[in-house]
Amino acid sequence: MSWHPHITVATIVEVDGRFLMVEESKGGRLVLNQPAGHLEPHETLRQAAVRETLEETGWEVALAGVVGIYLYTAPSNGVTYQRVCFAATPVRHEPHRELDSGIVAALWMTRDELANQPERWRSELILRCIDDYLAGPPHDLAVIRD
């Protein structure tokens, strides 16, 4: 039996105590997540984080650091994900940009608003990444070697 972890990226974007989140349809219900997704062939982790954030939220961002690297096995399907979570600052919004399939909306939410809705989290990594970001500071982007 072969085991293949999935490499994903996520981005923490915070402005005035509010975090950029996506509301997406997953398994027939609406869930909350950071802008996140899978690394694509011939793409760096940094490129993937910037691309996924733009595709899922319409926000162009500048990466500011690395929040952490997480290993998570989804209880729903047993798949293991390695998530590299970046901190980023918003640069420009494209409000008319069509968002990725399955994305219902991009939302700005406080940590408390998220903490009060655990039944809507795509995974427990959502709050863990935000708490790690808030504990800061993020690691220098130089820790990512392309």
Pairing of strands 36-38, 29-33: unpaired
Return the pLDDT at 106. Answer: 97
Is 122 part of any domain? yes
- Per the prediction, the chain carries an average pLDDT of 95
Is 80 part of any domain? yes
pLDDT digit string, tens, across residues 109-119: 999 999 999 99
pLDDT digit string, tens, across residues 124-140: 999 999 999 999 999 99
Return the pLDDT at 99. Answer: 94
Tally the domains of the chain: 1
Segments in the chain forming alpha helices (H)? 45-57, 111-115, 125-135
What is the band of 1 on the pLDDT scale with cuts at 50, 70, 90? low
Return the pLDDT at 75. Answer: 86
CATH code: domain of residue 28:
3.90.79.10
Is 76 part of any domain? yes
Q: What is the DSSP string of 17-43?
A: TEEEEEEEEETTEEEEE-SEEEPPTT-
> CA-CA distance, 52 to 63, in Å (whole number)?
12
59 close to 90: Cβ distance less than 8 angstroms: yes
pLDDT digit string, tens, across residues 30-53: 999 999 999 999 999 999 999 999
Domain range for residue 19?
Answer: 6-143
Is 1 part of any domain? no
Is 58 part of any domain? yes
